[in-house]
């Protein structure tokens, strides 16, 4: 009796195991196909990866004046990263002023009017240092690149009790290949 029960149990187990093996084989085959497809896609992306030609840094919703940001962008545009950081550090020490248009007081030196936007300058220095790090990671030669800078108004949330709005600015700074003046003259 016990031997009959054992044989019945063994046959039941065998009946259960066979479909499970079939199911696992059916599952394993598509998984292997997916893995091989992923490897092929990875190879294609590695082939497509070329050396990057520019580095970008974006400052979203910065708590600085848009007017000051636009003036700083005009001040550092078409400069080298190192030169731009040096120029902005001179503003922090009140040695130079950022040239601005409008009814502003005149400053000493060669500029007509200007200001010392300390808070905006510190944010720009942070962004420029980040851009420099991005350029190093992308293996760009910093001597061949110049800055392209753009500042725009961001979404401005209301202050408490709806009595005004906060200052917010979006800033995009790119490193682009410098075009020499001789090449520009030939194009004209």
**Mind listing the pLDDT tens digit for each residue in 19-60?**
555 555 555 556 666 777 777 776 666 655 556 778 999 999
pLDDT at residue 7 is higher than 80: no
**Are 40 and 127 within one domain?**
no
The pLDDT tens digits for 152-180 are 999 999 999 999 999 999 999 999 998 87
Name the residue range of residue 165's domain.
55-187
Number of domains within the chain:
2
What would the DSSP string read from start to end of 48-113? H----S-EEEEEEEESS-HHHHHHHHHHHTT--HHHHHHHHHHHHTTSS-EE--SS--B-SSS-SB
The CATH number linked to 118 is 3.90.470.10
pLDDT interval class at 13 (50, 70, 90): low
Same domain, 64 and 155: yes
């Amino acid at each position: 009796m016990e031997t009959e029960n054992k044989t019945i149990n063994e046959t039941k187990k065998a009946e259960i195991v066979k479909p499970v093996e079939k199911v696992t084989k059916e599952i394993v085959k598509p998984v292997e196909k997916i893995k091989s497809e992923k490897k092929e896609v990875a190879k294609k992306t590695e082939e497509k990866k070329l050396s990057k030609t520019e580095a970008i840094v974006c400052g979203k919703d910065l708590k600085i004046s848009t007017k000051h940001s636009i003036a700083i962008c005009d001040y550092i545009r078409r400069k080298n990263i190192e030169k731009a950081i040096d120029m902005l550090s001179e503003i922090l020490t009140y040695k130079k002023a950022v040239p601005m248009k409008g009814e502003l007081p005149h400053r000493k030196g060669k500029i007509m009017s200007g200001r010392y936007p300390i808070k905006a300058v510190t944010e720009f220095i942070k962004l420029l240092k980040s851009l420099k790090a991005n350029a190093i990671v992308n293996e760009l030669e910093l001597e061949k690149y110049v800055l392209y800078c753009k500042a725009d108004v961001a979404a401005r949330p209301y202050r408490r009790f709806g009595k005004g709005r906060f200052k917010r600015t979006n800033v995009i700074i790119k490193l682009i290949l410098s075009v020499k003046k001789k090449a520009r003259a030939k194009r004209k």
